[in-house]
Amino acid sequence: MLVTAWHVVADLGGDRVGSEVLTDALDGSAAAVPSQVVAVDAVHDLAVLRRAEPLRESVAGWAATDAVGLYSKVVINGVAEVDDPGHHYAYLYALGEWRGWTVRDGVALGRLASPDVMRGMSGAPVYGRDDGLVLGVVSARYNSADDWLRNSVWIARTEDLTRLLEDCAVVPVRRRLTLGDRVGVVRSAGSVAVLPVGRIPSGAVGPVEAAHEARLVLTALDESCRGVGALDEAVTHLVSRACGTGWEGRQLEGLRRRLRLRGVEPRVLLPRLPDHEEAVHRWSAPLPGTDPGHEVSVHAARAFLSRLRRTLAEEIEDGVLAELSASCRTFLHEALTDGNRIPLSGFLHALSDHLTPLRSASVEPVPLDPAAVAARTGEEHEDGGDRVFSPAGPVPGRPELSAVARQMCRLPAVDPCLAGRERFVADVAAAVDRHMTRHGTATAFLCGQPGVGTSVVAVEAARVLTPAFPGGVLHVDLHGLVPGSCLNARTVVRVVSEALGVDLGAEAMDDVRLVASLTAHLRDRRVLLLLDNARDAAHVRPFVKAPAGCGVIVTSRDRAQDYADRGLAFEVGPLERAASVEVLARCSEGGDHSADDDGHMAALHLLAHLCADLPLALRIVGARLSQPSGPQPSYLVQLLEEESARLDALAYGDRAVRLAIRLSHDALDPAARRILRLVTAAPGAAVTGAELGHCLSAPALPQELLLNRLVDRSLALRDLVRMPAGELLATFRLFDLVRLFALERLEEDEPPDVVREFQRSSVSYLSARLTEITNLEHGAQLSGELDPTRFHAAQRLAQENEWLDLATDLAIGLHVLYTARGELDAIVGVNDDRIALQLRQNRPAEAVKACLLNGDTLRSAGAAAQAADAARQAAGIAREYGLTDRVADAEFMLSLILWDEEKWAESLAAGERAITCSPPRGSRRRPCPSRSTTAVRPAGRRTSPAPCGGVAWRRTWQNTGARPRCAPWRSTHGAWPRRTRATTGRRSISTAERQPCGKRSATTATRHATTPTPPTGPSGSTIRPPRSTCCSMPPNCSSGPGTIPEPWRPSST
C-alpha cells in the first residue's frame, strides 16, 4: 500500500479510484510496476494506491499530526525537480522544523519550515527525525519573494489519512500507545510492527514504576477528553466502543459534553482508589445550564463509567493500551476490574500520591497555585528529583547491627509442601490488600490447630503482598508457646527498628513510649509486620493497631482476639484429601517404590487419613517416603494404624507432632488440662458441658467454659446445633492427633478407677438422653436421633466394662429409634447386640423373645428374608437352651413367613416342626402363637396372613428384660393404650398396644396397613369357608390334598 498526495496522481491521470499509475522505488531497488488507486480524498489531498509488487521496506507507523511538538525536527524524503542542467537527482532529503497547524478554507493542515523542500516533492512523507514515525504528507509549499510565509510547507494530516483508510477498509489500522516525554498513539497498517521509542521498558518493574506509567496514561486520557491531550482520537475510539448501540443521539451528545467539561480523572475509573465514590458522585451530578432534553441521568452516567472501565480493560489486553509495560498492564487491569489476583495497595498508594486533588463538580475554571499542585503531585522533591519510594537506610554508625536485624526479620524460605494452599493464600493476601486500599491500614489474624501450617500460610501470604509494601515485609517469630523464649514488646521494637534503620532517639523510654515511638516512625512507610506464633491477644496488643499506611498479620493458636479488622480473621484448616495425597505422592517419587505399584495410591489415601490431613504429619511421613531406601507406603500404614504408637511414628528429625501439641497443652491451666484428658474417656471422644458437669458432679456452665478454652487454644472443635426450643447445643471434640496425645496423658495422669467412674456416668447420661428422645419429651436433644453415633459408642463401652444393664437399655432405645424410622439393616444390627446382651446375662428366654419380636417387625415391614433369619435365630437359641415351647413359637412364625413367600414345602415343614415341639393336648402351657384362622387365599392371589392373637411373644419391650425406666410406652395407669400418636415434624413415633401379626410393633411408624380379619357371624363366631378351601396346598404336600396341618386347624373362637 502506497500513500501520496491526491494532486500528484491526478496530474498523472489517476484522480479516480481504479486508475493505474507506474511507481518505482526511489533508491532503485524496485522497478516501475503498475499501481492501482484504491482510495482518494481530494479535499484533504490524500490518495492510497495498491502496488502490484511490494517495496523493500515499510514505515513503522504514523503519529498524529496534531500531537507533534512545536520546533520538533522532521525529515522529508522525495523526488525533487532540481534546476541543474545535465544532471538527474533520484531523490532528495530535506530537513525541517515543525511550526504548528492551521485551517485553510475549512481544511485542517500542518505546517513546517524548510528551505530545502523543492518543486516535485509533493506527496513525500514527513517523519520525525528521532523516532522515524510519519507525521504527514507534503501537500504544497510557499516560497514567496516578499518573505510572507517564506519556506512554509503545508502538510496533509495523518488523522485524515487514518479516517480514509478505515472508511475504505483497504487495510486494517492498528493503534499502539507510546510513552516518552509525551503520551501519544502510533498507528500502523496491517501487521507492521510498531517500534516506539523513549518508553518505559516492558520488563518486570515494581508497583511504583507501574503507577508512574499508569498516571501518565490516565492523565493523558483525562486531558484528551477535555480537548487538551494527545489521545483525542483514542478517546473517540474508546467512547464509541463503550457506548455501543444502546445510546440515543441526545444521550451521546450529553455524554460527550460531560466528558469535555469533566474529563475522566483516575479516581473515577479505578474503584479502589481513595475518594472513588465521591469522584463518581461528582462526575455523575447534573451539569448546570444543560437542556433537560439533552441531560444524561445519574444512572445512565454511572452505567457509562462501568462500560468505559470494561472497555479500557479490554484495550489493555489487545488494543490501544497494549503497549504499556507488562507490570503496568497487570496492575491497571486488576484496578479497572477491581480484581484480587495480585496485591494492588502499593500500586494504588503510589498512584494516589501523584494525583491532583479531587476535581470539583463545577464547570467554572478555578486557578491553582502551581507550588501547591507540585507539592501534592510529588512531581518535584526537595532536592529537585523525582519522588521515590524506598525503605530507609541503616542508622549511620551501626550498619552491621542493621544487617543482622534484617537477616533476623527476613521471610522464611518457600515451603516445598504448599499443595492445596494456593487458593487460600491468595484469598488471605487479597483480603489484606483490599482492606489496605480502602482503609489505609490492615490487621489480619490467622489461627489453626497444632501442625496445620498456620505460619506457612501467613508467610506465603506476606510474600504475595510484598509488592504492595515497598517499605519492607518483616517477619518476627514471637515464640509465644516456648517457655523462656517468648519475645517481649521491647525486643520486637528493637529488632524491627534496627531492620528498618529507624532511629528512635537516645532518650531513655519505657516499653509504652518505645512502641509509640516505633509506631510514629512507621506511619506511611508502607511496611508489613508479620508477628508469628503469638501466645495470646495480650502478647501482641501493643502492635496490633497498624500505623497509617502499614499492615500487621498475627498468627496464634489462641483464637480469643478482638483486634483483627472485619473480614481479616482466618482459620487455617487441614488440607483437602486430594491435596494431602498430592503432597505424599511428590515425596514418594524419590523413594524405592513406584507410583504404579498395586495399591500405592490407596495406601497414600490411607496415610493421609491417618495423618488427619495435617501438613506437619504429612511432611514427616513424606520425609520417610522420600528416603532412597525408604519404607513402602503400605508399611507406614501398618505402623500408623496402631493409635497407641501413632504419635511415636509421626516424629522425624527435629519434627514431631507430639511436640507441637505439647506446646499448646503446656500453655493450659491445670483445670483445662484435666478436661482435655477426660474428653477422650467419654464415649465417642466428644462431650457437652452438661454431660461433663453430670460426670464430675459440678455445674455445667463452668465446664462448658473450660471446653471453650480448648477451642480457643486450637485443640478442639465445637459443633453448634440449635434445638427446637431455641437453645444452642454445643458438642466438643478433640482434633484426631490431639486426641491421641490426650489419651496418653489420660493413661499417665488419671487413676483407672476415676476414669472408669467417669465413663460409667457418661454412659448413664447418654442412656437418659436416648430415653428422652424415644419418649418424645420436651427438650430432648434431637440431634442424637439424627446422629446416634455416641449412643452406639456408649453401648460398646458399657459392654466392654460389663455394665450390661446400661448396655441393654441403650440397645433397646436404639432398636426403638431405628424401628420408628424403618431402617431395616440398623434394626437387625442393634437387635443382634441386644440378643447377645441377654445371653451374656443368662436370659435365653428373653433373647428368644427379642428375636421373635424382631421377626414380627421385619415381617410387617415386608422384609421377609430378614424376618425368616430372625425366626431361625430364635429357634436355634431355644434349641440350644432346651426351650421346647419357644422352639414351637419360632418354627410357627417361620412357617407363616415362608407361606407369605409361597414356599409351600418349606412352610409345611416348619409347621410340622412346630407341631412336634408343641406340648400334648391338655397340658398346661402358655397359649400357642397364632391360633386364629388363616385367611382364605384365592387361587393365584397372595394375601397377608390373618391376625394372630393370644401369643405370648406379642408383648412389648417391658417383657424383654429391660429396666422400668427404659419402658417409655407404659401408661401411667398400668394399661396399654390402643393407639396414641405424637408428631414432632419428623416421622411419627406411635405408642400402641402390641397388635397381632401384620401390624407394627410398639413405637413404630404406623404406615403399614392392618391385615383384614375374617368376617364374623351373628353370634360372633367366625364365618369360615368350606373345609376344602381353607388351604390351597400343592398336591405334593405331605399332608395330602384337602387336609390342613395342625397349626392351621380352624378353631371355634
- b or e along 710-724 (b: 16 or more beta carbons within 10 Å of the residue's beta carbon)? bebbbbbeeeeeeee
Name which residue leads in pLDDT, 925 or 890: 890
Please state the rounded mean pLDDT for residues 716-730.
84
Helix (H) or strand (E) holding 696, with range, is: helix 689-696
* All cell numbers assigned to 889: 413359637
pTM for the structure as a whole: 0.52
Name the pLDDT band for 1023 (thresholds 50, 70, 90): very low
* All cell numbers assigned to 783: 440431634
Indicate if the pLDDT at residue 931 is higher than 70. no
Please state the rounded mean pLDDT for residues 816-835.
84
Please state the rounded mean pLDDT for residues 705-715.
87
Please state the rounded mean pLDDT for residues 737-763.
90
Cβ-contact 52, 2 below 8 angstroms: no
Please state the rounded mean pLDDT for residues 603-625.
81
User: Residue 985: what pLDDT?
Assistant: 37
Measure the CA–CA gap between 72 and 65, rounded to whole angstroms. Answer: 12
Indicate if the pLDDT at residue 285 is higher than 60. yes
Name which residue leads in pLDDT, 751 or 712: 751
Name the pLDDT band for 10 (thresholds 50, 70, 90): very high
Helix (H) or strand (E) holding 604, with range, is: helix 600-610
Tell me the average pLDDT of the chain.
Answer: 76
Q: Which of the listed ranges 315-329, 384-398, 904-918 does the model predict with the highest average pLDDT?
A: 904-918
User: Residue 248: what pLDDT?
Assistant: 63
Measure the CA–CA gap between 876 and 891, rounded to whole angstroms. Answer: 10
Protein fold of 2-167: Thrombin, subunit H (2.40.10)
Indicate if the pLDDT at residue 1014 is higher than 70. no
667's CB contacts (< 8 A; 6+ apart) are: 481, 535, 713
User: Residue 289: what pLDDT?
Assistant: 62
Q: What is the DSSP secondary structure assignment for residue 1022, as one 8-state letter?
A: B
Name which residue leads in pLDDT, 810 or 979: 810
Which residue bears the cell 530535506?
94
Backbone angles phi, psi at 1019, to 5 degrees: -90, 5
Name the pLDDT band for 398 (thresholds 50, 70, 90): low
Residue 183: name the closest of 316, 320, 60 by CA. 320
Chain segment 17-39, per-residue pLDDT in tens: 989 999 988 887 888 899 999 99
Contacts 24+ apart (CB under 8 A), 904-909: 904/1033, 904/1034, 904/1037, 905/1034, 905/1036, 905/1037, 908/1033, 908/1037, 908/1038, 908/1039, 908/1045
DSSP 3-state assignment of 1020?
Answer: coil
Cβ-contact 1002, 995 below 8 angstroms: no
Q: What angle do CA 42, 44, 47 make, to 5 degrees?
A: 60
Q: Which class does domain 418-571 fall in?
A: alpha beta
Q: pLDDT exceeding 70 applies to what percent of the chain?
A: 76
Q: What is the DSSP secondary structure assignment for residue 1053, as one 8-state letter?
A: -
Name which residue leads in pLDDT, 4 or 588: 4
* All cell numbers assigned to 470: 515497598
User: Residue 287: what pLDDT?
Assistant: 74
Indicate if the pLDDT at residue 766 is higher than 90. yes
Name the pLDDT band for 740 (thresholds 50, 70, 90): confident
Chain segment 444-490, per-residue pLDDT in tens: 999 988 888 899 999 999 988 888 888 889 999 888 877 666 888 88
* All cell numbers assigned to 747: 493413661
User: Residue 27: what pLDDT?
Assistant: 80
Chain segment 861-897, per-residue pLDDT in tens: 888 888 899 899 999 998 888 888 888 888 899 999 8
* All cell numbers assigned to 991: 405408642
Q: How many CB atoms lie within 10 A of CB 559?
A: 17
Chain segment 205-217, per-residue pLDDT in tens: 678 888 888 888 8
Indicate if the pLDDT at residue 4 is higher than 70. yes
Q: Where are the alpha helices (DSSP H) in 338-480?
A: 345-353, 370-377, 399-408, 422-439, 454-464
Q: pLDDT exceeding 90 applies to what percent of the chain?
A: 17
Name which residue leads in pLDDT, 344 or 732: 732
Which residue bears the cell 510519519?
134
DSSP 3-state assignment of 174?
Answer: strand
Backbone angles phi, psi at 309, to 5 degrees: -60, -45
Helix (H) or strand (E) holding 734, with range, is: strand 728-734
Please state the rounded mean pLDDT for residues 281-308.
74
User: Which region among 152-166, 388-402, 1014-1028 has the lowest average model confidence (pLDDT)?
Assistant: 1014-1028
DSSP 3-state assignment of 655?
Answer: strand
Parallel, antiparallel, or unpaired for β 551-556 and 442-447? parallel
Measure the CA–CA gap between 310 and 340, rounded to whole angstroms. Answer: 16
Indicate if the pLDDT at residue 963 is higher than 50. no
Chain segment 636-686, per-residue pLDDT in tens: 887 787 777 777 777 766 567 788 888 888 888 899 999 999 999 999 888
Which residue bears the cell 489484606?
432
Name the pLDDT band for 311 (thresholds 50, 70, 90): confident
DSSP 3-state assignment of 38?
Answer: strand
Q: How many CB atoms lie within 10 A of CB 582?
A: 18
User: Residue 929: what pLDDT?
Assistant: 41
Name the pLDDT band for 502 (thresholds 50, 70, 90): confident
Rg (CA), the chain: 46
* All cell numbers assigned to 914: 412346630
Decide: residue 97, CB within 10 A, 0-12 exposed, 13-18 middle, 19+ buried. Answer: middle
Name the pLDDT band for 552 (thresholds 50, 70, 90): very high
User: Residue 8: what pLDDT?
Assistant: 92
User: Residue 96: what pLDDT?
Assistant: 93
Name the pLDDT band for 998 (thresholds 50, 70, 90): very low
Q: What is the DSSP secondary structure assignment for residue 1044, as one 8-state letter?
A: -
